[in-house]
Structure 1
Amino acid sequence: MNLLSRYLLKELVIPLVVWVAFLFLLLFVMQFLRGTDVLLGSAVTLGDMGWLLVYLSPHFLVMALPIAFLLAILLGLGRLSEDREITALQALGIGPVRLITGPLFIGAVLSALMLLITCTAEPWGLTSVKEFVAEIIKKNVVGDVKPGVFYEDLSNLTLYAEQVEGEEHQWKHVLLHDDREPSAPLLMLAHQGQVNTSTAGQVLTLVLGDGEAHRANRGEASYSVVTFEKAEIAVGVEGRMGRRNRFRSPKEELTPGELLEAAEEAERTGGDPRPFLMALHTRLGNALAPLSFALLGTPLAIGRRQGGRAWGFLLTLAGYVLFYLLTRVFEQMGQQGRLPLLLAGQLTNLIFCAVGIVALYRVNRSGTVR
């Protein structure tokens, strides 16, 4: 590796690390604010926060790496352009085509890293975080139910215990109002109850003993009362932290092998395998995004006008948004059969690469704008 290559890599790697750290922290804070009702419970420890960070790290890295790389190119090569170092290199016979080798090398490394993460660590992390948050919610219910206070953190459920006794937090004189079925709400009164913490998975089980259940049908003039010695109420707790993000596909939690198996199963049962195959091609297209960003970002950085840093940042962010908007459009077209799946997954990269090659040709032919 010659001196110029090492210099360019240094100019790109340092801002890349800084931008990745900043965006990673920003994404974690945003996710934390979405789940404050869960993460600020009495049972949550610093160790729990550490495990949550571990589980979410692969997903955050996949989101942060492309935009961080694009911003690093703008900041690193843009500084060379503003300081006239690009002009000095051109005077020595080193043109823009030579300068793009550094960004392409880093882009290839990032693409390989993202491909590895999306195939292994990201599905594992997203699956683990759902189970982990479910366990946190269970522990919060155990610790947050206070005697004589209505507990309303569970969706459409209101829980009240007159007394909470012992280390196992057993409830005495319990009231539970279940409004998950609005047309027929359920009111349960019991002498004792507690949370069954031994159940695995994303189901919270409330165990009530020696009581009666009252159900009224609002559409009819009917009312029923049932007595019981023991009753178990299952409450789904999945998606509590991500309930505002309704556009995230659960296919992100599947590995490539599982996506192919799901597509084969859908085809055998008469379903449509294209959504699963499209998810696989889209994942590959997103992993290759750093390469297209390297081709597009390099001529934008070295060919911009001096003092146009703010305009360059705006173009960078606009290009990032446009990339993922086009990705979603082509993804829908692929699922609808209007485009071949392989082409739909890579068409955005092909467009950005073509625009980058044209821009690089123009910069190489006319020189950087001073």
Structure 2
Amino acid sequence: MKILSRYILKEHLGPLLFGQAVFTVILLMNQVARKFDELARRDLDPEIIAHFFVLTLPFILAVTFPMGVLVATLAAFGRLSADNEITAMKASGVSLYDMLTPLLGAAGCLTLFMIWFNHGVLSETNHELSRLEADIARTKPTFVLREGSINEPGGSGNYRLVVDRIDRRSDRLYGVRIHDANDPALQRTIVADSGTMGYSANGRDLVLDLHKGTVYELKLRKPSEHRALHFDRQQLVIRNVGSVLERGQDEDDYRTDREMNFEQLLAEVRAERVELAEADSAAVSVAREELQAYLTGA
């Protein structure tokens, strides 16, 4: 009987692994298709993107594991039936209960494993994924300068950039015009023959190094007061333009129900019951006071 049990379990193992792998790859590719473009636009490190998809795997496995078990059961018993092996087992005195006993034992072990997996692994990875998604949502997309069009780098300042030509090999800009709209009472425009663009050491601030240009300033309330300042070289720094992922602090430990293990869910239920009881008690007290006031007034 031990040989028969091992044989039946062996027949399930191959289809289980195959079905699990196929369904996992399909759902993972679906996640990649839905999320990769958004993550890539924010210019995140490859390690962050890979970490994001690794964190989605536990949720996918929790869905695909029962699907793999179903495929394994159908494939194994389908093959045994097609090859008349089930008929041969029954003819040899093996009952259906004897054939199902090892599978019921394996199903019990898999059930315990999935309970542990959902309790310990899935809740924590869901919480970590939720925190990572919130951190990514706060990350601004990388500013990409396009020639011949109005560019708005964003960040802390209100600037608009127009560049006639960009030499991609040397990263040099030609025909640079910058409109500074930070002061509503002052119209300020910077015109430069050439320049370069880069980021500061912290990766956040956009640094424009301009050469041979003029700064035109015009007070809107007093148009007669205008001036032009010529320069050979000027550096303009626009703050908080780069995309730097900042991870949230661990103190913010709010969790949804999908991010809680069994103990946390039970604690949440108990807290909600206490809060509901307090609300009911307060409502009863208010009703009594209102009734007492009504009777006294009457």
Q: TM-score range by the shorter chain?
A: 0.5 to 0.7
Contact preservation (8 Å) 1:38, 1:136 = no
Q: What's the offset of the Cα at 1:151?
A: 7.7
Query: 1:7-49 CA distances to partner (integer Å, 9 max, x unpaired)?
Result: 1111011111111111111111112222133233363344334
- Give matches, 1:165-184, under 5 Å: 165-167=198-200, 168-171=203-206
1:185-264 matches, within 5 Å, as 192-194=238-240, 197=244, 200-201=247-248, 250-264=256-270
Q: Which amino acid aligns with 1:257?
A: E
SS in structure 1 of the partner of residue 41 of structure 2:
coil
| Greater percentage in strand | 2
Give 1:87's aligned residue: 87
Deviation at residue 91 of structure 1 after TM alignment: 0.9
- 2:186 is matched with which residue? none
- Residue 356 of structure 1 aligns with which residue? none
1:270-289 alignment runs, 5 A limit: 270=276
Amino acid at match of 1:170: D
- Matching of residues 61-210 of structure 1 within 5 Å: 61-138=61-138, 141=140, 144-147=142-145, 148-149=150-151, 162=161, 165-167=198-200, 168-171=203-206, 192-194=238-240, 197=244, 200-201=247-248
CA contact (8 A) 2:199 2:207 kept: no
Residues 138 and 197 of structure 1 are in contact (CA less than 8 Å); yes or no, is this contact kept in structure 2? no
Residues 197 and 48 of structure 1, relative CA distance in 2, 3 Å threshold: closer
Q: Is the 8 A contact 2:132 2:247 kept in 1?
A: no
TM-score (structure 1 length as normaliser): 0.48
**Letter of the 1:146 counterpart:** V
Task: Give distance in 2, aligned partners of 1:42 and 1:198.
Answer: 9
Partner of 2:40: 40
In structure 1, list runs of 5 or more residues that go unmatched: 153-158, 174-190, 203-248, 273-370
Write the letter of the residue equivalent to 1:56.
Answer: T
Deviation per residue, 1:100-130 (Å, 9 max, x gap): 1122122112111110111111111111112
1:166 aligned partner, one-letter code: Y
Q: Which runs of 4+ in 1 moved over 6 A?
A: none
CA contact (8 A) 1:123 1:255 kept: yes
Residue 194 of structure 1 aligns to a residue whose secondary structure is coil
Could you tell me how far apart the structure 2 residues matched to 1:198 and 1:82 are? 57
Question: Residue 136 of structure 2 contacts residue 245 of structure 2 at CA under 8 Å; is this kept in 1?
Answer: no
Displacement of 1:149: 3.8
Contact 1:5 1:102 in 2 (8 A): yes
CA change 1:96–1:198 in 2 (3 A) is closer
Closer/same/farther in 2, CA of residues 91 and 270 from structure 1, 3 Å limit: same
Give the C-alpha shift of residue 50 in structure 1.
3.2
Larger-gyration structure (1/2): 2
Q: Which residue of 1 aligns with 2:272?
A: 266
Q: Greater helix percent: which structure?
A: 1
Identity of aligned residues (%): 23
Instruction: Tell me: CA distance 1:71–1:199, structure 2 relative to 1, closer, same or farther (3 Å).
Output: closer
Distance change in 2, residues 1:62/1:91 (3 Å): same
State the structure with bigger RCO (CA 8 A, min sep 6), 1 or 2: 1
Question: Alpha-carbon deviations, 1:255-311, whole Å to 9, x = none?
Answer: 111111111221122279xxxxxxxxxxxxxxxxxxxxxxxxxxxxxxxxxxxxxxx
Judging changes above 3 Å, is the alpha-carbon distance between structure 1 residues 23 and 171 closer, same or farther for their aligned structure 2 residues?
same
- For 2:275 and 2:207, how far apart are their aligned partners in 1? 50
- Provide the aligned C-alpha RMSD in A: 3.2
Report the secondary structure of 2:238's partner residue.
strand
Aligned residues: 201
Distance apart, 1:172 and its partner CA: 7.5
Cα contact 1:12–1:73 (8 A) shared by 2: yes
Q: Give the TM-score normalised by structure 2.
A: 0.59
Could you tell me how far 1:52 is from its partner in structure 2?
2.3
Cα pair distance change 1:80/1:269, threshold 3 Å: same
2:97 aligned counterpart, secondary structure: helix
